[in-house]
């Protein structure tokens, strides 16, 4: 196994650990972590079995193995960023809705607090 393979394997395993650690510290939700776990496991597999990439490339008519990796990688990142844009848009709508409801409620609370019901005068005034 060459130094390059060791480095590649190490980096892939490192990625998996970073993802798991982010989930553990609650910086990354499980829902969004899954895709990264699959990616890092895939990368670990490719690093451990050096011939895998070339075999896969040859089978679909790509002569140079790493270009398959680039193609798949760029495409996957593209899909992922579109998904993230969708998530951000969805969250923007939700935040707008929340801010509006908060404003409406604050307005209502302010009115209710300033509302003073006419105090009933006691029948027998001491004064």
Q: Name the residues that contact other proteins, by CB under 8 A.
A: 92, 95-96, 99-100, 102-104, 106-107, 111
Most distant CA atoms of the chain, gap in Å: 104
CB of 104 vs other proteins, minimal distance in Å: 6
113 or 124, CB closer to other proteins? 113
Shortest Cβ 82–other proteins spacing (Å): 17
- Cβ 94 to other proteins shortest distance, Å: 12
Contacts of 72 (CB under 8 A, 6+ apart): none
DSSP 25: T
| Closer CB to other proteins, 42 or 103, in the complex | 103
Name the residue nearer to other proteins (CB basis): 14 or 103: 103
CA distance 108 to 33: 41
Q: What is the DSSP letter of 50?
A: T
């Amino acid at each position: 196994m060459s130094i390059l393979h060791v480095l590649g394997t190490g980096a892939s395993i490192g990625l998996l650990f970073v993802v798991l650690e982010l989930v553990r510290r609650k910086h990354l939700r499980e829902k969004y972590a899954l895709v990264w776990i699959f990616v890092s496991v895939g990368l670990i597999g490719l690093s451990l079995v050096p011939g895998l990439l070339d075999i896969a490339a040859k089978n679909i008519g790509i002569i140079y193995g790493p270009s398959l990796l680039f193609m798949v990688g760029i495409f996957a990142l593209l899909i992922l960023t579109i998904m993230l844009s969708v998530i951000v848009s969805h969250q923007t709508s939700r935040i707008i809705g929340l801010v509006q409801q908060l404003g409406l409620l604050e307005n209502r609370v302010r009115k209710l607090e300033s509302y003073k019901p006419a105090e009933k005068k006691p029948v027998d005034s001491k004064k």
